[in-house]
């Protein structure tokens, strides 16, 4: 698949383009949109980060715990390296709205088990990241995270391969 996230001059997310591709001669087929139920659980994985300045790549383990909580909300706790981040989202159909914190974000649940994690708005001279996730199987998920600095320059890319353990 190919995925493009475009922002307008005011920093608002303007459009998303998801291009699904299939190799000729394979039994690959289109899949339905990603659901909350497919995300809920405990995921363990490995992440590899490569940097634009050619510093050595970094590999580390990840743990993601996703659960539904009262009131149509989703809570996730992500641990990687020596960091842990807990966040809560309002579930609004196929959109998860993370409105707490310095940079409100949304995750769109898209066709073919794909998800898009983007800031609601880019702020001038503030670093940011975007993420694309996709289910390979019911118990394997991959994510690609791209980090940009305050000038909008690409800084690093992280590829995460995670498996559901519960």
- Residue-wise pLDDT tens digits, 26-82: 887 778 899 999 999 999 999 999 999 999 999 999 999 999 998 799 999 999 888
Query: Does 19 or 28 have the greater pLDDT score?
Result: 19
pTM metric for this prediction: 0.90
Question: How many domains in the chain?
Answer: 1
pLDDT score recorded for residue 155: 98
How far are the Cα atoms of 30, 31, 79, 80 from residue 64, in angstroms, in the given order? 26, 24, 6, 9
Reported as a single tens digit per residue, the pLDDT across 105-118 is 999 999 989 999 99
Domain presence at residue 54: yes
pLDDT confidence of residue 41: 97
d(Cα 144, Cα 108) in Å, to the nearest integer? Answer: 15
CATH number of the domain to which 153 belongs = 2.40.128.20
**Residue 89 included in any domain:** yes
Residue 160 structural domain? 32-164
Is 127 part of a structural domain of the chain? yes
- Residue 128 domain-assigned? yes
The predicted structure's pLDDT at residue 97? 96
Residue 11 lies in a domain: no
């Amino acid at each position: 698949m190919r995925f493009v996230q475009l922002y307008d001059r005011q920093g608002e997310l303007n459009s998303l383009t998801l291009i699904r591709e299939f190799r000729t001669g394979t039994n690959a087929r289109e899949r339905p949109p990603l659901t909350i139920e497919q995300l809920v659980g405990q995921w363990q994985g490995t992440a590899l980060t490569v940097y634009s300045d050619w510093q050595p790549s970094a590999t580390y383990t990840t743990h993601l715990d996703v659960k539904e909580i009262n009131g149509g909300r989703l809570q996730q706790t992500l641990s990687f390296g020596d960091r842990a981040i807990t966040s809560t989202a309002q579930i609004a159909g196929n959109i998860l709205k993370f409105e707490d914190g310095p940079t409100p974000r949304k995750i769109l649940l898209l066709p073919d088990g794909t998800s898009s994690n983007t800031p609601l708005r880019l702020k001038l001279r503030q670093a940011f990241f975007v993420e694309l996730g996709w289910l390979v199987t019911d118990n394997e998920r991959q994510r690609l995270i791209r980090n940009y600095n305050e000038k909008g320059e690409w800084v690093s890319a992280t590829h995460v391969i995670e498996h559901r353990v519960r």
